[in-house]
């Protein structure tokens, strides 16, 4: 069976990681070999001590059928150098008399780690090592920027290279054995196209996690439009951290928050309810609840109350 990719999107702070891990727990409990992949390099997830998760480095085992891969910024840079460093040197040295220090210099450039993550997700999917990959994406702004990089960067780079070659007359240098940088750049662009094709294919399912608040709904609207512009379908919306009045009977502040949340949920239903499956997840955490207990409770809630969304993925 081809690997299925489940991308979990949402703005920062909505509980995207909790929901991603809850979905991972539910699916791995069904006997599916699953990888939970966290790619927010600025805020790496820590699973040490949860469900007896164990292992060294970024990749750890969390039970019989579930592995977790937590990518930090330095690890992503290291993998980028291993995969693309030599090719980048070939391109750069076609233009300038540079040494291989240029590889580390480019590896530290803003956006390089984000750009590599898209390729890495595609590579994991292509290898078909897992039945399912649950991809816990970075916060909404970074994820959207990542998509735009993937779509536009190589097209711009290819055109800039053509201009540079015309202006500097570097073709003679290339003919003397440097290799054609345009061929490498075109190969990178083809990889970018492969990544976007995966995200727009039946092998990918996208879910958006949001809170019942005006700002979160606004960000969700932006994510939906951005994913739609790349042809990436969304399977459902998970409205998280919904506070029940029974949590504190007679508490005026809680009742006011609940009333505002109900109004925002109504707005979300009117806006997207006819097109997307939606499910509400209650606010579970308190000061004494351990993270793994919260995730197990969310997992159980999803299985009982969000069956249509789970089946759609």
Cβ atoms of residues 227 and 196 within 8 Å? no
**Is it true that domain 4-76+109-239 has CATH number 3.40.50.460?**
no
Structure tokens that stand for 219 in this block: 């960000």
Q: What pTM did the predictor assign?
A: 0.84
- Minimum mean pLDDT range among 1-5, 273-277, 286-290, 301-305: 286-290
61 forms bridges with which residues in the sheet? 54, 67
Token pair 């790619």: residue: 39
- Rounded-to-integer distance, Cα 312 and Cα 17, Å: 20
The C-alpha angle with vertex 81 and arms to 42 and 167, in degrees rounded to 5, equals: 105
Cβ atoms of residues 241 and 269 within 8 Å? no
Q: How many CB atoms lie within 10 A of CB 286?
A: 8
CA dist 27 to 130, 199, 249, 279, Å?
A: 12, 20, 35, 17
- Would you list the domain boundaries of the chain? 4-76+109-239
Structure tokens that stand for 244 in this block: 């029940």
pLDDT tens by residue, 10-55: 998 899 999 999 999 999 999 999 999 998 866 777 786 677 777 7
- Rounded-to-integer distance, Cα 204 and Cα 232, Å: 8
- Rounded-to-integer distance, Cα 230 and Cα 18, Å: 27
pLDDT tens by residue, 73-87: 778 888 878 887 887
- Minimum mean pLDDT range among 9-13, 148-152, 158-162, 218-222: 158-162
**Positive or negative CA dihedral for 45, 188, 83, 108?**
negative
């Amino acid at each position: 069976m081809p690997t299925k990719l489940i991308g979990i999107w949402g703005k920062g702070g909505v509980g995207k990681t909790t929901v991603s891990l809850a979905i991972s727990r539910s699916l791995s409990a069904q006997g599916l070999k699953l990888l939970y992949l966290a790619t927010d390099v600025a805020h790496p997830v820590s699973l040490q001590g949860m469900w007896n998760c164990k292992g060294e480095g970024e990749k750890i085992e969390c039970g019989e059928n579930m592995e977790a891969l937590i990518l930090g910024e330095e690890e992503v840079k290291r993998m980028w150098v291993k995969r693309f460093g030599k090719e980048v040197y070939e391109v750069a040295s076609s233009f300038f008399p540079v040494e291989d220090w240029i590889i580390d210099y480019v590896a530290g450039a803003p956006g390089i780690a984000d750009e590599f993550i898209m390729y890495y997700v595609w590579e994991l999917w292509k290898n078909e090592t897992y039945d399912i990959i649950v991809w816990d994406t970075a916060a909404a702004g970074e994820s959207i920027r990542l998509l735009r990089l993937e779509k536009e960067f190589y097209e711009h780079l290819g055109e800039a290279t053509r201009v540079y070659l015309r202006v500097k007359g570097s073709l003679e240098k290339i003919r003397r054995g440097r290799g054609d940088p345009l061929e490498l750049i075109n190969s990178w662009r083809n990889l970018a196209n492969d990544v976007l094709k995966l995200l727009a294919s039946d092998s990918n399912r996208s879910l958006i996690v949001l809170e019942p608040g005006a700002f979160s709904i606004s960000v969700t609207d932006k994510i939906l439009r951005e994913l739609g512009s790349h042809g990436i379908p969304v399977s459902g919306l998970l409205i998280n951290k919904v506070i029940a009045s029974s949590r504190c009977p007679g508490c005026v502040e809680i009742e006011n928050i609940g009333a505002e949340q109900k109004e925002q949920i109504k707005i979300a239903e009117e806006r997207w309810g006819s097109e997307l499956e939606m499910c509400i997840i209650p606010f579970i955490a308190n000061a004494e609840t351990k993270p793994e207990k919260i995730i197990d409770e969310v997992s159980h809630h999803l299985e009982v109350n969000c069956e249509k969304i789970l089946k759609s993925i």
